[in-house]
Structure formats: C-alpha cells, structure tokens
Structure 1
C-alpha cells in the first residue's frame, strides 16, 4: 500500500512539473472571444525554446485565409469588439495583428487593451495574430462574418 502511494505521488508530481512554464513545448495561444463566445482559432507555424528542448514546427499554410479555410466564421455585429488575451503562459513582448479579406487584401490593425474592433461593413474578415516572446514565436488565425 505504501509503495502504491509513493508511485502515485511521483506520477502526479511528475505530471505537474511537466506542465510548468519551463517545460512548455509550444508558444501560448490566445483566448479569442466576442460577447463571451469563444472563437475557433487555427495555429500556424512556430518556434519555441524550452528548458528541455527547442523546436520549430512548420505548417503548409500560405496565408491566414488558407489557415481559416475549414473554419465556420463566427457571426458578429458591425463594430463588435473581439478580445485576444494570452492568459496561459507568458505575455508576448510583441504582437502584430492583421485583417484579411477574401481577395487577399490585408492591412495591419492595432490591438488595443487586448481587443480589436471589427469593421461596420458587412463581409467576411480573417484575423491573423503573430506573437513573439524571448523563447520563440507563434501565430493564430480566426475568421468572423459581419452581419
């Protein structure tokens, strides 16, 4: 019985240690919400250096539009505020946000107070969020339909 207790304790503690920040194997991903609804995101290529390993993972996406091609866009009201928050892990030192439209047109937009505002014009919009940390970089994309 005592042996089982120590083995169980070792497994639990080992599992907890692996989830702590120095052992993270990939960059944190943001929680993306609008009106308390979580939006589906697609992760892109990344590089990350942790205590035990460093790795780069490359995906074949060529644009954020391709990243979100299989997503069902979330319907939002014109001018809706989308929250992009990194709550699981370190805060990025740099964040770049882009707004893409179907024809491939895109522009850099500002993320202010962890949020962006969708246009008032109806249409399909894809957002690409690229982030950098001391330990690496990563990116996600998501799409919304302004109705």
Structure 2
C-alpha cells in the first residue's frame, strides 16, 4: 500500500484521489517507514465525519469489525520533520 501525503486538502477530498482498499473485518494493518519515526499518531475518520484516535501496538493496529468506509490519517514525526499521510478502506 502507498500512503499519500496531505498537502492542504480536506481529508475527505484527499481520499477520493486514490483507490479505496477493500479489507476484511478486523484485519490488521502494519505500518513501516524507511527511517524510524520518533512518534506515530493515527486517527480513524468515520462516515459521519467523526474521528477517534487509534491505538498502535508496535507497528500494527486492527481495523474495525463493523462494515463501512473509514479514512485513516497517519501523523508521523522524526527528529528533523513531520509528515501526514492518509488512506481509506472499505471494511467488508
């Protein structure tokens, strides 16, 4: 999977710019970077435009067990900078 960097776009607009991933309920996401970040924060955006923080366990988290469309915002910090990425999934 390729994460897309946010550049001033609304997260919902950005999610329309690339293909939605179709995944099974409760699937695990593994996230890795070439250079280890000092912190990673993840937000799950729901269809009703609400969001919540996602608990990261090592370099993994579990997707919802409720069918629906979700957008993930991944905020990553390194000693020399910060980046925000997004991707969306449809949980089947």
Give 2:30's match in structure 1, choosing from 83, 92, 95: 83
**Corresponding position of 2:90:** 145
Aligned-residue RMSD, C-alpha: 1.2
1:114 aligns with 2:59: yes
Supply the distance in 1 between the matched residues of 2:39 and 2:58 (Cα, whole angstroms): 14
Judging by fraction of residues, say which structure has more strand: 2
Alignment deviations for residues 55-101 of structure 1 (CA, whole Å, 9 cap, x no partner): xxxx2213x22221222211111000011111x2x211111100001
Runs of 4+ in 1 over 3 A off after TM superposition: none
Tell me the SS of whatever aligns to 1:85: coil
Q: Are 2:74 and 1:126 aligned?
A: no
5+ long unaligned stretches in structure 2: none
Q: Of the candidates 60, 64, 68, which is equivalent to residue 8 of structure 2?
A: 60
Query: Normalization by structure 1: what TM-score?
Result: 0.59
Bigger relative contact order (CA 8 A; separation at least 6): 2
Q: How many residues align?
A: 92
Is 1:43 equivalent to 2:5 in the alignment? yes
Higher helix share: 1
Aligned to 1:51: none
Residue 40 of structure 1 contacts residue 71 of structure 1 at CA under 8 Å; is this kept in 2? no
**Residue ranges of structure 1 left out of the alignment (5+ in a row):** 1-38, 45-58
Q: Between Structure 1 and Structure 2, whose CA radius of gyration is higher?
A: 1
Q: Give me the TM-score of the superposition, normalised by structure 2.
A: 0.91
